[in-house]
Structure formats: C-alpha cells, structure tokens
Amino acid sequence: MPDTDALLQVEHLSHSFGGFKAVDDCSFDIARGSISALIGPNGAGKSTVVGLIGGALRNQSGSIHFDGHDISRMAAFKVARLGLLRTYQVSREFGRLTVMENLLVPPPNQKGENLLNVLFRPSVGRGEDRMLVDRAVEVLETFGLLSLRDEYAANLSGGEKRLLELARAVMAQPKFMLLDEPMAGINPALIARLDSHIRRLRDELGITFLLVEHNLDVVERICDRVVVMAFGRTLAEGRMSELRQNPEVVRAYLGGGLDERAAG
Amino acid sequence: MGLILPYLATLMVFFFIYNIFTWGLNIQFGYAGVLDFTFITFVACGAYFAGVFALGPGSKQTGFEWILGLNWPFPIALLAGAAAAGILGLIIGLIAINRLRSDYMAIVTLAAGTVIYGLVSNFTPLFDGFDGLAGLTQPFSQILPLNSNQFTYLWVLVSGVVMVVCWFIAQRILNSPLGRTMRATRDDQDAADTFGKDTVRVRLIAMSMGAVLAGVGGALLMGFIGAFSPAGWTSGETFVVFAAMIVGGTGNNWGGVVGSFVVAVLINEATRYIPPIQADPTLIPTVRNMLIGASLIVVLWVRPQGIIPEARRRLYQLPLRPGKPPAAEVESA
Ligand SMILES: Nc1ncnc2c1ncn2[C@@H]1O[C@H](COP(=O)(O)OP(=O)(O)OP(=O)(O)O)[C@@H](O)[C@H]1O
Ligand SMILES: [Mg+2]
C-alpha cells in the first residue's frame, strides 16, 4: 500500500465538528510531480481535509504522511517548514504590508529574524534582504505584479490577491502546494493565466500541486489525477474523463449537475 | 524663572519616560498585534526590581520591608529591572499567547496583572505592600552630590540617554525581517503560520521586548522619584499608555513620540501641576481623564490611523504606477 512515489499519503482521515463528521475515513495519495485535484460538492469536506493536512486542524483519527514525515497532528508552521504550503479559500494576504513585503515574509531561516542579529548586527538582515528583494522582483515580474510592488496588499483586487498568494508561496520554495479554490471569484482571462502559472511552476521548479477546484474545465485541462469527495469520504479517483462516466460521481454532483457544471 | 526651569525639566523627564512606554507598547501591539492590557505591571516590575537592587536592605523592625536590598549602583539596578520585566513578560506571554488568540489573550493579561497587583500590595515582605518602596537616595549621589533641581537636570540627561538607546532597540526591531514577520503575524496569524513562521515565538519576543522597555521606563521613574507604590500603577495607567500610542499612531515610533507628548505630557502631566481647586480636589484628575478620553475619541473619529500613520516601505525603487492610499490608512511622507 505505501506508494514510494507518493509525496503525500492520506489514510483513513476523520474529523468531526461537534458531533458532525465533516471528514469520514478519507484516503488518497498524491504522486510526486503531479498536478492533482480534489473535487466534490459543497460541504463535502474538502477544505477540512486541506486544514487537516496543513496543520490548521488536528486530525482526530487517521494519518497523514508527507515526504517521509508523519505530519498527522503536526503544528502548521512545522508542516510548512517541511515544504508543504497551503492557501486558503479566501485570500489571506498581509494587508498592511506592501506586495513586496508580502513576498519577503515566506523565505525560511532568515537570519534577520533572530533577535540577537536584529539588535546587534542589523546589517545581516539588510544584506539578506537585498538578495531576497532581487528574487522577489523576478517572481513578481513573472506574475505580472511588479508594478504593484509598493502597494498595500489590502488594496489589491480579488484577482491580484490570488496571484499574490501564488507568488508569495513560490518565495518559500515549497515542494508541495495545496491550493484551496485558487480560481474562485476571478475572471476567465485570469483563470487562464493562473493555470499556466501552475503548470509552469510544476515544470520548471518541480512543485507538486493539489487543487481544490469547482471549475471542472480547469481540472480537466491541467490536472493529471482527480480525487472526488462526497460526504467526507473519497468517492472515486482517476482521470477527469473517466470520472465523468462514473455513475456514483455523477449522482454525487446532484443528478447530472456534473455536466452542467462542466459546461458552465 | 527660578521655578519654570525645574518644572520644564520634570516634564521633560516624564516625556522621555513616556516615549519609552509608548514604544514598548507599540512593539507588543503595533508591531505584533499582542493586546497587553497590563502593560503597567511591567512598568511596576521594572521600578520595583530597580528599587530593591539599588536600595539598602529593608527590615521588619523599621517597618520598611522588602526583598534583596543590595545597595547596587543605579545603572545595574536599571538593567535588573529591565530584565525582570522582560522575564515577567515572557511568563505572562506564555500563559496568554501560547494557547489563546487576541481577545481572550487580552483578558488573560488583565487577569494576570490583577493577581500580581493584589499580591504585591498585600504581601508586605516583597515590596512593602501598599506603602511601597521609599527612601532611595539620589542615584549617583556619591560621585555627584546635587541639590534637587540639579538632580532633575541630571535626570533629563540620564533618561534622555536611556531613551535614545530604547529608540534604537525599537527601530532596529521595526526595520528588521523580524519586525516584518511581527507585522505579518499581526495582520494574519494563521497565514503567517502557514508560511512556516513560529508565530507564538514571534509574539512572545514582542511581548517580552515590550516589557523590557516598560521595565526600563519604570526603573527610570524609580530613580527619579525615589519611591514607588501600588497607588502609582493602577490598571487605568495602562490605558493612558494605550491612548498615547493610538493617538500618536501605531506601527511606527514617531507616532509614539507625538502621542506621549500630547497625552502624557500636555494632558496628563501638565494638569497635575495646576493647583487643585479647594472645593473639589478630584476635579483636576477627572478633567485629565476626560481630556485623554476625548483626545482618543477625536483621533479614532477623524484619523483612525493616528496622527502619524505607519510608513509605507519601498524596498525596490523603479518607475512605478502611483500607489493609491489604502482604505484605512494614508501613506506617510
Ligand atoms: N469550523 C467548523 N465548525 C463546524 N462545522 C464546520 C466547520 N468547518 C466546516 N464545517 C462543516 O463541515 C462540512 C465540510 O466543510 P468544508 O468546508 O470542508 O467543505 P468543502 O468541501 O470545502 O465545501 P465548499 O466547496 O463549499 O468549500 C460542512 O458541512 C461545513 O458546514
Ligand atoms: Mg471549501
């Protein structure tokens, strides 16, 4: 069962809020270097799974392994330090920091975050920052955000915030990115840009992706593999084209709703 | 002329000390978003520990009772007071920050402060209970025998030098990657967590460093007045510092200077020197508190970001699209 090529393994995960089982015996693997999707109707438990993997929620039973580490019940910042970054369904920018500063927060192990360096050797942090700024400029340029670098993140439009989330995550040089509805509420032109960014990051930097996504066109276009959830459980796995034929999956999407969603 | 100069010098000392307070609170709240409702407890901690390091031994017989009583030189006593406050900040921080977020955290700090206040004012062997510490001889009197006016001028110099050191501490933290991570934690703690930042640790550092500055200011007060008792650190004093910080503007230290000048000097301290009206001795303090409250309301109403808002940091200069100011804030020059 343990797949050596799996970067992330979720096994028999369960989590309840009060008495309500939001996630109920959910299992799946994500292959290294893949772009996968986690889909399912509203309330299926997708965001809860993201929270459990990312460490925002502590799972009540089951296990999560990432890149050889047991990350079940691990604190969020420790999970992140292993190279697993998640984003939120609602953009969570650092509003009163500029776009540039938002990009300078994620890089790990900054010497300028050490209090003794801060008080007695401030040049250490400044020197390090100069290099980070250079890297951030490159990243901002590829995401088309360079002209906004001195803008407060709170002032960006919804779509710009989505791009910022991705750009900011890239600065942390993660192995795995878990994106909760990265395309929610943005226009079709930007969706096309976002999905080409995701593919580029996978191809150039080898980052593995798991996207929670309602837009099945996007899923079909960029995802190698799809995990379907309903009622807290994994219902099916496979390629999107196969899953469209799967009667159980179709039923989960409210009797034929799947085709409508795909069309819309 | 004979009276005005020492009076101004005294105001100057309070202004300098209040600057240190607003910067300390700003490190906690303005940088890291830690709501510390018992800031004055750290001031007291610094004052008491500086006191018992600098004072001679107390004893039950004389009725002046306190721990330590080491007779150490004032500079060392000041550092001891700062360290004690920093450690207390860490302890209260561990209780409040480790498990809790924002509003509950603030209530825990308030509760901890109340417990400490009750303990210190009732348990006399510690710092002589409600009478407090008293009888500290002028610091440096062995090298520099001064009359009381001259001592006030000396204290302008001493607190001025200490203030400059505190300014550098506050500024270095603010302008460092650590300060940036604190501000990110303030804006969204969960998001900072998901970028691998140990936000509990970051907040503890802010809590403790803010408490250190509070303790430094407290020690300077102790050295200046020569006495310190629970009447001087009622919980309302925390809100005077909050008012100063918010009126001046959070997230930057010039705001603290302006705020402490307006609230702590113009309103708070200056009114204390107006002789109380015979008919009602409580009138002056009441007016003072009303003025502080009113200035806070006016600022929150017309300029919620404070008189001097947080500066926008430009880290990479190129021709760029002119930025629009954010909804709640205006770019400072
Ligand atoms: N903190 C919470 N407390 C109580 N119930 C919750 C909580 N978070 C989620 N739930 C419930 O758990 C179920 C799963 O929620 P979740 O957010 O994981 O769904 P989702 O698949 O992400 O849905 P969507 O597509 O709408 O984002 C829902 O019924 C939701 O109401
Ligand atoms: Mg969701």
Q: Is B326 on the interface with A (CB under 8 A)?
A: yes
pLDDT bracket for residue A264 (50, 70, 90): very low
Contacts of A62 (CB under 8 A, 6+ apart): A10, A11, A12, A13, A14, A25, A26, A27, A72
DSSP single-letter state for residue B228 = B
Between these two residues, B268 and A238, which has the higher pLDDT value? A238
Burial class (CB within 10 angstroms; exposed 0-12, middle 13-18, buried 19+) of A119:
middle
CB–CB contact B197 A105 (8 Å): yes
Report which ligand 1 atom has the smallest distance to the Cα of A229.
21
Mean pLDDT of B218-238: 91
* A210 to chain B, closest Cα gap in Å: 16
Mean pLDDT of A139-153: 93
Q: Which residue has the higher pLDDT, B268 or B326?
A: B268
Nearest CA to ligand 1 atom 24: A42
pLDDT at position A195 is 87
Task: Give the range among A29-33, A108-112, A189-193 with minimum mean pLDDT.
Answer: A189-193
Find the radius of gyration of the CA atoms of chain B: 20
* pLDDT tens sequence across A47-99: 999 999 999 998 788 999 999 999 998 999 999 999 999 999 898 999 999 99
CA B185 to chain centre: 22
Q: Is the pLDDT of residue B310 over 90?
A: no
Global pTM value: 0.90
* Range from A27-31, A37-41, A112-116, B270-274 carrying the lowest mean pLDDT: B270-274
CB of A51 shorter than 6 A to ligand 1: no
Q: What is the ipTM of this complex?
A: 0.90
**B180 and chain A in contact, CB less than 8 A:** yes
CB contact under 8 A, B316 and A119: no
- Give the pLDDT confidence of B99-134 residue by residue, as tens digits: 666 678 888 999 999 999 999 998 888 898 888 888
CB neighbours of residue A25 within 10 Å: 14
CB-CB under 8 Å, A112 with B195: no
Residues with CB under 5 A from ligand 2 (ion): A 47, 89
3-state secondary structure A63-103: EEEECCEECCCCCHHHHHHCCEEECCCCCCCCCCCEHHHHH
Average pLDDT, integer, range A96-104: 95
Residue B38 and residue B238 in contact, taking contact as beta carbons nearer than 8 Å: yes
CA B10-B11-B13 angle, 5° bins: 65
Angle between helices B74-97 and B102-122 (to 10 degrees): 130
Write out pLDDT tens, residues A27-36: 999 999 999 9
Ligand 1 mean position to A22 CA, how many Å?
Answer: 6
Contacts of A172 in chain B (CB under 8 A): 195-196
**pLDDT at position B156, please?**
96
Q: Is the pLDDT of residue B331 over 80?
A: no
